[in-house]
């Protein structure tokens, strides 16, 4: 078998694998769309058709006209955006320090970040609840944002470190020869050149915060404070006429912003994740 034939076979296998993954992940979403476009009669009848007999968008209209749903959307956006900014404030200086400074325990500290990232939030839920309760911070967005930041900083630090590693140290040295101190180098050199990576990490953090369920479900009980993930969970009990098709429509509306953001900015995100990976 020639090298060209082997290359074509490898490309064909890659495309088949990507197609299989697309079907695997897109299948549930398309079925959710099918459920969201059915009327009550078809839902109650238990019809299992993939394509509804009488497709309708009334379910989406009903969800969007619900008085609580815009509040859930705003709370989700607020918590996600604040956590994104908070993660950058903490992770950027940490990434710069890990990239540019040599200190005792540097490797151990980086490994500790990875280990912390691997810990499931389920492990800390009970002590976290008791801690926040003792501080009197239950039912506050501040507590939720702080937990989001703590969960997002490890991955953000690793990604931003790769971005800073890709910036030549000679630029730092030239700026310091011209009279800049470390903070000036960080502010005038590192931050502007790291803009694509910073934007990508912010987007990843916002999407992660938008998708959070466990933390706000544990720390928030008031409806006017809940983000979209928890709001949908409570949506059925709050609506007298709600049923499966309304929940499906609400779920689709909630995931559309994250999907659109990722698909629109996937090259920027992947570029930040791989920057510095082939640095020689």
Q: Contact, 212 vs 227, CB < 8 A?
A: yes
Per-residue pLDDT of the chain (280 residues; tens, 9 = 90+): 455 666 677 777 888 888 888 788 777 888 888 888 887 777 666 556 677 777 888 888 888 888 888 899 899 999 999 999 999 999 999 999 998 888 888 888 888 888 877 777 778 888 888 989 999 999 999 999 999 999 899 989 988 998 898 888 888 888 888 888 888 888 888 998 888 889 888 988 988 898 888 899 889 988 889 998 888 877 665 554 457 788 888 888 888 777 777 776 666 666 655 554 444 3
Q: Contact, 197 vs 129, CB < 8 A?
A: no
DSSP helix, strand, coil percent of the chain (3-state; round to 5) = 80, 0, 20
Q: What is the helix (H) or strand (E) element at residue 83, kind and residue range?
A: helix 69-100
Is the entire prediction scored with pTM above 0.85? Answer: no
Quickly tell me which residue has 């101190």 as its tokens. 181
d(CA 187, CA 190): 6
Backbone angles phi, psi at 114, to 5 degrees: -65, -45
Pick from 221, 219, 223, 204: which is nearest to 70 by CA? Answer: 223
d(CA 263, CA 266): 5
């Amino acid at each position: 078998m020639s090298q060209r034939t082997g290359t074509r076979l490898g490309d064909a296998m890659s495309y088949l694998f990507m197609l299989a993954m697309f079907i695997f992940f897109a299948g549930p979403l398309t079925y959710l769309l099918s459920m969201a476009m059915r009327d009550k009669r078809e839902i109650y009848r238990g019809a299992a058709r993939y394509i509804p007999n009488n497709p309708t968008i009334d379910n989406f209209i009903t969800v969007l006209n619900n008085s609580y749903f815009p509040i859930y959307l705003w709370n989700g956006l607020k918590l996600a955006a604040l956590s994104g900014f908070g993660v950058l404030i903490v992770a950027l200086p940490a990434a710069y320090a890990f990239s540019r400074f040599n200190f005792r325990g540097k490797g151990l500290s980086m490994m500790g970040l990875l280990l912390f990232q691997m810990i499931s939030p389920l492990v800390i839920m009970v002590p976290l609840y008791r801690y926040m309760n003792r501080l009197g911070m239950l039912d506050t967005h501040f507590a939720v944002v702080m937990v989001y930041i703590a969960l997002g900083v490890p991955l953000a630090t690793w990604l931003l470190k790769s971005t800073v590693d890709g910036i030549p140290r000679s630029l730092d040295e030239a700026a310091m020869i011209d009279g800049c101190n470390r903070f000036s180098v960080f502010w005038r050199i590192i931050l502007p050149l790291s803009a694509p990576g910073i934007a990508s990490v912010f987007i990843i953090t916002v999407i992660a915060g938008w998708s959070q369920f466990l933390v706000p479900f544990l720390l928030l009980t008031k409806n006017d404070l809940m983000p979209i993930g928890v709001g949908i969970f409570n949506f059925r009990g709050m609506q007298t006429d709600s049923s499966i098709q309304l929940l499906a429509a609400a779920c689709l509306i909630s995931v559309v912003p994250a999907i659109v953001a990722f698909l629109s900015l996937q090259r920027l995100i992947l570029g930040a994740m791989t920057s510095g990976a082939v640095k020689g």
